[in-house]
């Protein structure tokens, strides 16, 4: 069952997580939350927006509203390693559908899975009050993905000392504010949508058939790994025998 496999993948990744290596890695995921500074005043926001817009090299400017909120653009990189579930036989969403808030996913019960293009980039126009949770839901809606939003997480990607650092953002964080603080340069800060694989697994929440299916999947993966190792060493033995 495809849904159970997706659920098991998330569960297994968390349950069978290996001990981190002491060797520095090029890509590091941080889960420790940073302390948030005091909320800026409207005057400080205005100054930051003016400074931000002065660095913008395209038309993607931020705009301050009278109530102190502001709007702008963020780009999200899609780095999903597993397929997503979408309605089968449904055409892409049109501008008319978007304006009328038509949810094409509700028009059919049939589902299919496919891989989103690796490293695809989606540009979103959001508000300073738009949360990470709303950004994730908005991305899934644009691609007509019907998977549970909890399967995904938004990360901020930063580069420091030759390393690429990923930090998972809380669902209540405001991405546009982070964009404003970092400036428009995506080399300093960028946003990435990835699978959410850091949650703790509550095995008691699964039914007996689901747990049995998990065991079947685990058994199949174990056999595949054993075959891969056996083939690897068999080739190595053959080369040694040829050399002898």
What are 82-136's pLDDT values in tens digits?
788 877 755 444 434 444 444 544 555 667 777 777 778 899 999 999 999 999 9
What are 57-78's pLDDT values in tens digits?
888 999 999 989 999 999 999 9
Tell me, letter by letter, the H, E, C secondary structure of 187-240.
CCCEEEEEECCCCCCCHHHCCHHHHHHHHHHHHHHHHHHHHHHHHHHHHHHHHH
CATH ID of 42-93+109-200, from 2.60.40.420, 3.10.20.90, 3.20.20.70, 3.30.70.580 = 3.10.20.90
- Which residues, in sequence order, are bridge partners of residue 72? 126
Most confident of 58-72, 135-149, 199-213: 58-72
Higher local confidence (pLDDT), 28 or 167: 167
Question: In the chain, what are the domain boundaries?
Answer: 42-93+109-200, 204-243
Could you tell me what percent of the chain has a pLDDT over 70?
70
């Amino acid at each position: 069952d495809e849904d159970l496999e997706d659920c098991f993948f998330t569960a297994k990744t968390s349950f069978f997580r290996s001990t981190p290596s002491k060797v520095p890695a090029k890509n590091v995921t941080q889960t420790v939350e940073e302390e948030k500074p005091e909320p800026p005043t409207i005057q400080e926001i205005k100054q930051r927006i003016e400074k931000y817009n002065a660095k913008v090299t395209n038309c993607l400017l931020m705009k301050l509203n009278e109530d102190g909120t502001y709007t702008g653009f963020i780009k999200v990189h899609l780095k999903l390693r597993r397929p997503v579930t979408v309605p089968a036989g449904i055409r892409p969403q049109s501008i008319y559908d978007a304006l009328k808030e038509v949810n094409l996913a509700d028009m059919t019960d049939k589902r299919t899975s496919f891989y989103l293009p690796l490293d695809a980039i989606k540009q979103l126009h959001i508000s300073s009050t738009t949360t990470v949770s709303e950004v994730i839901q908005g991305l899934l809606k644009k691609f007509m993905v019907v998977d549970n939003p909890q399967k995904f997480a938004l990360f901020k990607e930063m580069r420091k000392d030759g390393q690429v650092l990923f930090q998972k953002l809380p669902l209540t964080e405001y991405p546009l504010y982070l964009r404003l603080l970092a400036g428009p340069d995506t080399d300093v800060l960028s946003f990435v949508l990835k699978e959410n694989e850091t949650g703790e697994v509550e095995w008691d929440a699964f039914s007996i058939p689901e747990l049995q299916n998990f065991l079947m999947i685990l058994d199949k993966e174990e056999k595949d790994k054993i075959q891969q190792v056996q083939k690897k060493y068999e080739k190595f033995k053959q080369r040694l025998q040829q050399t002898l």
